[in-house]
Structure 1
Amino acid sequence: MCRASWLLTPWAPWAALVSLGAVTTTLLVLSLASSSSSFLQDAAPAYEYDDSLYSSDVTAPAAAVVPRRGPGYPPVLAYYISGGRGDSVRMTRLLKAAYHPRNRYLLHLDAGAGAYERARLAGHVRASFLEFGNVHVVGKGDPVDGRGASAMAAVLHGASVLMRVGADWDWLVTLAASDYPLVTQDDLLYAFSSVRRGLNFIDHRMDFDSPQEIVLDQNLLQSTNAEISISSGQRPKPDAFELFRGSPWTILSRAFVEHCVLAPDNLPRTLLMYFSNALNPMEFYFQTVMANSPHFKNSTVNHSLRLDVPDGPPLPHDANGNRSRYDALVSSGAAFAGRFGDGSGDEALLQRIDDEVLRRPLDGVTPGQWCAGSDEEPASGDDCSVGGDIDVVRQGEAGRRLASLMAGLIGAG
């Protein structure tokens, strides 16, 4: 069996140039994925900026509060939340909606965002989330094109940072700034408490006939965002492994994330090389690593627990259309939904989720058992300035619905 069938083959006079670019891109992806020291230097001091205008107003993050772990305690989630130019406000809102002091959060605005926008995001974090020391903002964003290897490298890079800033999390949740939770964190942690910690929630299917375009992601070669270059040729399907694809949004176990980042065997590195010059590698990489790994291929749940937002009604103020979209989202049992747009229809939908599902007050965080309150009178978001017990969660109807969905998916798998 030929194990190099996926390597670049000439298809045009300039194939040698693309081959050189492929080798360079592969080396850069491997370097980014395997080394987080420089990125961590930007991320761990969560409130440093490149622009000296803001550097004099820096407050160091507080020491992280360590949640209790083990039997009888909820899991810990690590969130990697990514966005670009113009996303700082949406990212702040998403953080407040998905915040819980047990979890860890890494916020990455890519190189398309300016220094002021990055400083604005860090300022919001500094003002609201210093107490538990579990939110980090990347100080210098990586250039990213969502269709290229730079997006894959950014996620792996972010995962390695989260591994270094906290050894206490169980799952990695990847979200975009345009996503939003459909359950409270108490409900989410309750649902994940009902399943074993090694499961991976990853939408996947075998890929038989997707064209294998060869691309060069220039974002790995420079410091500003750039368009990827797509060649006119294709490469043959590999015969050393089977290709799988699915949603780029995943919830991955820590063990699997460590397998991809630390690469104790050759499979993650081999696939990283293969997908470093592929189109939309985020739809393939984790799915293909998992499906071809003897240790992890039986740990999958074929669902990302994320729902695509239904298309809006033709008229933005169509109350019936927006009501049906809300009902579809809430009744789905999913944990997250995306992408939400900037229009008035989606804003009304988000506001209703805040009011009726999350019970999140304006400019506040989603309340939970960790906020001040009592068993008889649950806390509101305004009470979360005074901490309660971060190791206890209160489940509601949405949490039971999500746990039921997860149990059904696991049983069907």
Structure 2
Amino acid sequence: MKLIQYHQIQNFAARTHHQQNRPPYTTATTTTTTIPKDHSRCSPYVVVATFFISLLFILSLLSTSTSQLLTIRRDPALFPNRPVSLATVPYGPTPPSIAYLISGSAGDSGRILRLLFASYHPRNQYLLHLDLSAPQTERDRLAVNVLSVPIFRAAQNVDVIGKSNYAYRRGSSTISSTLHGASILLRLSSNWDWFIALNAGDYPLITQDDLLHILSYLPKNLNFVNHSSYIDWKESKRLKPIIVDTGHYLLEKDEVFYVTQKRLLPNAFKLFSGSRFTMLTRAFIEFCILGTDNLPRTLLMYLANMPYPFANYFPTILCNTDKFKRTVINHSLQYVTSNISSSKKPSSINSAEFDAMVWSGDAFATEFQFDDPVLDRIDQKVLKRKRDRVVPGGWCLGVPKNDTCSVWGDADILRPGPGAKRLEKRIVGLLSDVRFRSQQCPDE
């Protein structure tokens, strides 16, 4: 597998800053200096010493400027230092943090930016990914757009992958792309609790204040993922066929292709299938990436040549590991319907369908098309978000007539709305179901 390097947007900003602050050319005034004949020759020792002194001076300047440019300074208004006091009575549990990987292809930079605005909160960590089908200019333009938003600069929690590869939905390159993004997020921040991978067709149905408020009352070891061991038709259509995913080794975009041989089903572990969308804990992501057990690597090799393997990877690891199998909730908190975006043209759903989607209690919905009118309705009626603005939260202190989030305060302050009640009802229903235990990694 090709090793992929990534750039943080601070690196891109450093290059831009260096170019913008390059001093203009100025014509120096020339003067004639008379050098005595006895000093027309310099000693070679003086030349060598001058060279090394100049070199050390230049290196010190470079190291100083680089360290200043790459130092992450978050706005203290968002993250104030709180002295620990036993006399202080907390109003509630400390809000958690979510790591988001938002991915897309060529032409998706606008959709990714809109999804970032709709799901933004200063406490979270965000990593934006455009695969290799997008030109580098689009990737750089996305980084510049991120840098132009004041709250993103203040919170220092949005990064862009500068160099990526293809991620075919039909192949295993989607797994490697997701694991790559998750590993970067582990290095970027040590504070997040859950990992969510979104694509350009997803959109939130509740605010981040709603989501963080409800998650703050839940154990941080719960993994939300649809899963089932019932494979039926998938055995012949998806589990036994062998494909070649060219996204692993080609720079040019090329489709996957099938081979004539068939594979045997494994007997060392049981295969589970699920959905693309998951909400996974940090402990489980570390288990998959850091290699404390051999199952994630073994399964990755087994699924390398399988069609549509992404829906099998995380559910199979969860349900074949004793440490995590009892932490699974058999629901991904994502709403999926073919009625929202059933065609390539922007869809128009009626009020009953829209209300059913919103009142489902799910945190996200999927399969939205580009510029779908449904997204505007979600922004106006659910998220209360203005165009090219982030969703207002408890940290926003500005005047409502202008941009509410142009002035910000403590990021730990949440202002949950009606979406929190809907999500609470959904999760309580899942946990109180008499079939809850029997639906955890069922052996059907």
Partner of residue 392, structure 1? 413
Partner of residue 189, structure 1? 212
Displacement of 1:331: 1.0
Structure 2 CA distance for aligned equivalents of residues 122 and 402 of structure 1: 33
Q: Which moved more, 1:139-148 or 1:296-305?
A: 139-148
Matched, 1:244 2:272: yes
Structure 1 SS opposite 2:276: coil
* Structure 2 letter corresponding to 1:351: D
Q: Is the 8 A contact 1:143 1:226 kept in 2?
A: no
Displacement of 1:380: 7.4
Structure 1 CA distance for aligned equivalents of residues 346 and 369 of structure 2: 15
Which of 249, 257, 274 aligns to 2:302? It is 274
- 1:285-340 Cα deviation digits (max 9, x unpaired): 00100000010000001111111144259998997x43233212111111001111
* Structure 1 letter corresponding to 2:269: F
Partner of residue 369, structure 1? 394
* Structure 2 letter corresponding to 1:119: D
Displacement of 1:407: 2.0
Structure 1 SS opposite 2:101: strand
Change (3 A) 1:317 1:155: closer
Which of 382, 389, 405 aligns to 1:357? It is 382
Q: Is the 8 A contact 1:73 1:392 kept in 2?
A: no
Partner of residue 429, structure 2? 408
Structure 2 CA distance for aligned equivalents of residues 250 and 318 of structure 1: 25
Which of 161, 170, 192 aligns to 1:169? It is 192
Structure 1 CA distance for aligned equivalents of residues 377 and 135 of structure 2: 31
Structure 2 SS opposite 1:246: strand
1:12-411 to structure 2, matched below 5 A, reads: 28=1, 38-39=4-5, 41-43=6-8, 45=10, 47=12, 56=19, 62-64=72-74, 72-128=93-149, 129-209=152-232, 210=234, 211=236, 212-312=240-340, 321-342=349-370, 346=372, 348-372=373-397, 382-411=403-432
Structure 2 SS opposite 1:272: helix
Q: Is the 8 A contact 1:145 1:225 kept in 2?
A: no
Q: Is the 8 A contact 1:147 1:279 kept in 2?
A: yes
Q: Is the 8 A contact 1:213 1:230 kept in 2?
A: yes
* Structure 2 letter corresponding to 1:233: Q
Which segments of 5 or more consecutive residues in structure 1 lack a partner in the other structure? 1-27, 33-37
Structure 2 SS opposite 1:73: coil
Change (3 A) 1:293 1:170: same
**TM-score computed with the length of structure 1 as normaliser:** 0.82
Which segments of 5 or more consecutive residues in structure 2 lack a partner in the other structure? 22-68, 83-89, 437-444
Change (3 A) 1:46 1:88: farther
Structure 2 SS opposite 1:298: helix
Percentage of matched positions with identical amino acids: 41
Q: Is the 8 A contact 1:171 1:254 kept in 2?
A: yes
* Structure 2 letter corresponding to 1:137: V
Structure 1 CA distance for aligned equivalents of residues 402 and 100 of structure 2: 21
Structure 2 CA distance for aligned equivalents of residues 251 and 220 of structure 1: 25
Structure 2 CA distance for aligned equivalents of residues 331 and 271 of structure 1: 37
* Structure with the greater alpha carbon radius of gyration: 2
